Amino acid sequence: MPEGRAEEAATTAQSGRAEESPETGSGAAGRPRRRQARGEARIAQLLEAAADVFSASGYNAASTNAIAREAGVSPGTLYQFFPNKEAIAIELGERLMKRWRETYGAAFVVSHVELPLDRMLDAVLDPLIAFNCENPAFAVLTHGSEIPGVISREHDAVHATMLTRTEQLLRAFLPELPPDRATRTAEMSFVLFKAGLDLIMEREGPEREAYIRELKTVIHRYLEPLVCDTPDGAPARRIDTP
């Protein structure tokens, strides 16, 4: 689409958004939000198509024409809601990031420290792995130098928060662990999870399930000696082994 037409479409889209409904709000970047049901349904349709295209082609190779084709609409319809690919990626990234926060917020809860180690790992890791498997576009939009900067910055902030939550959960589970060792163990566990998740995402079906089991085994065997290594007189935490 020529640059002039894209700018014109963007201007039309912005004015159309404001006219669709008298009820508007501000998004994370101060953009007007469309509240009309048909408009929201169309946006959801376009974002779902974008997620499929990003997952199949990567962000850099994806195009607005491909997204419109995947959604079954004309490019003109797409430009009524989004001026370009970057705007689509940012909107999709914001929605996925919100769901990711909700997912890890529910996974990293203090009550899980009352569970045996293997069951605690299930409670923490299963929802995190499931989210990424169900939303492959999330990985595409949080990796790579070509990704819009706002998404990268948001991902970096979430990454730091998750590492902090990992350490907090580990300290609660192993209160006798020295602070410096707790920090190192949390960082190593987090890196192990990320590396294992990359391998999991590359597989499907039974092979994916096998790699999920392998990841849990690796982390379990890494943490198990710490669980059993308690001070004299302190009760060891129970470990349920498969």
Q: Give dist(CA 48, CA 88) in Å, integer.
A: 10
Q: For residue 4, give Cα distances in angstroms to 10, 67, 76, 83, 177.
A: 10, 21, 14, 12, 62
Distance CA 7, CA 26 (A): 22
Phi, psi (rounded to 5 degrees) for 93 = -60, -40
Looking at residue 229, its pLDDT comes to 62
Q: Which residue has the higher pLDDT, 222 or 4?
A: 222
Measured distance CA(74)–CA(213) in Å, rounded:
44
Share of the chain above pLDDT 70, in %: 79
138 or 35, which is more confident: 138
Per-residue pLDDT tens digits for 106-116? 999 999 999 99
Q: Give yes or no for residue 84 having a pLDDT over 90.
A: yes
Per-state percent for the chain, helix, strand, coil, to nearest 5: 75, 0, 25
Q: How many Å apart are CA 127 and CA 131, to the nearest integer?
A: 6
Closest CA to 197 of 112, 101, 130, 118: 130
Check residues 191 and 37 and name the one with the higher pLDDT. 191
> Cα dihedral angle (139, 142, 148, 154), rounded to 10 degrees?
140
- Per the DSSP assignment, residues forming a β-bridge with 34 are none
Count of Cβ atoms closer than 10 Å to residue 138 Cβ: 23
187 pLDDT higher than 60: yes
Query: In this predicted structure, what is the pLDDT of residue 152?
Result: 75
Residues in the chain: 242
- In the numeric block, the tokens 């849990």 are attached to 216
Q: Is the pTM of this model over 0.75?
A: yes
pLDDT at residue 142, rounded to an integer: 87
